[in-house]
């Protein structure tokens, strides 16, 4: 399954980066406490990844019924999921990959092998933040200790040079991708419109239309 492979790649690349930093510290190219800080950041990122992947994102149970508060607001018609054949609460969407309806679903993330919804959205944001910090931290370390250093203390062995070059490329690509995801998530939090709803609004040409009723 594609999701399983992609989510496993996250762990492999994170562990690879920790090994590279640890080798630099072992060869006295970095201080041990710097390597420990980076390892802690990666550990927090992987913990957030695991929490996002294995936490139920907010599946709508088969026996779900509309809340009484909706009837008090005058809402008498309710959506039904054509796939699950059950009640579909507002802001929920059916995921064809997971084959279930998810409360406040933002999107299905193959890197997590899970949907991102109401119950695991916080962990997803934490993973993005820790990953972003780790990429910036590593790039700063490499800039100071490899690219812009002419001292003999900064010289790496041939193997470490290749490891650092590869990790630098991975960090740059990851930083660009994660930065775009953070901007996307931040925009969703500020506007209250998730990724799926935003794409639907763009397709319908109603991106800038207000969902609020006019004051009479």
**Tokens 């640890």 -> residue:** 22
Which tokens go with 37?
Answer: 């800080």
DSSP letter for each residue of 23-41: HHHHTTSS-HHHHHHHHHH
The 3-state DSSP class for residue 132 equals helix
Beta-carbon contacts of 128 under 8 Å, excluding residues fewer than 6 positions away, are: 178, 181, 182, 185
CA–CA distance, 94 with 105 (Å, rounded to integer): 8
Q: Which pairs count as long-range contacts for 104-108, CB under 8 Å and 24+ apart, including other chains? A: 104/58, 104/194, 105/57, 105/58, 105/194, 105/196, 106/185, 106/188, 106/194, 106/195, 106/196, 107/194, 107/195, 107/196
- Residues 42, 95, 101, 109: which is the catalytic one? 109
Tokens read off for 159: 């193997």
Residues 6+ apart with CB under 8 A from 3: 97, 110, 112, 113, 114
Residue 109 bears catalytic tag: yes
Residues 41/130, Cβ–Cβ less than 8 Å: yes
Among all residues, which ones are annotated catalytic? Answer: 109
């Amino acid at each position: 399954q594609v999701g399983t492979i992609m989510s496993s790649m996250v762990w492999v690349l994170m562990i690879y980066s920790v090994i590279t930093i640890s080798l630099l510290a072992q060869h006295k190219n970095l201080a041990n406490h710097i390597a420990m800080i980076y390892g802690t950041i990666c550990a927090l990122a992987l913990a957030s990844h695991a929490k996002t992947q294995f936490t139920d994102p907010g599946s709508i149970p088969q026996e779900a019924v509309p809340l009484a508060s909706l009837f008090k607001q005058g809402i008498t018609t309710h959506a039904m999921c054509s796939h699950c054949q059950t009640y579909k609460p507002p802001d929920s969407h059916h995921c064809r990959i997971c084959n279930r309806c998810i409360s406040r679903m933002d999107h299905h993330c193959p890197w997590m092998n899970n949907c991102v919804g109401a119950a695991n959205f916080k962990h997803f944001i934490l993973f993005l933040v820790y990953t972003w910090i780790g990429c910036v931290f590593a790039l700063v370390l490499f800039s100071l200790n490899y690219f812009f250093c002419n001292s003999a203390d900064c010289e790496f062995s041939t193997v470490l040079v290749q490891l650092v070059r590869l990790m630098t490329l991975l960090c740059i690509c990851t930083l660009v991708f994660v930065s775009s995801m953070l901007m996307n998530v931040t925009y969703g939090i500020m506007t209250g419109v998730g990724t799926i709803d935003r794409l639907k609004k763009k397709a319908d040409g109603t991106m800038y239309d207000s969902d609020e009723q006019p004051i009479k």
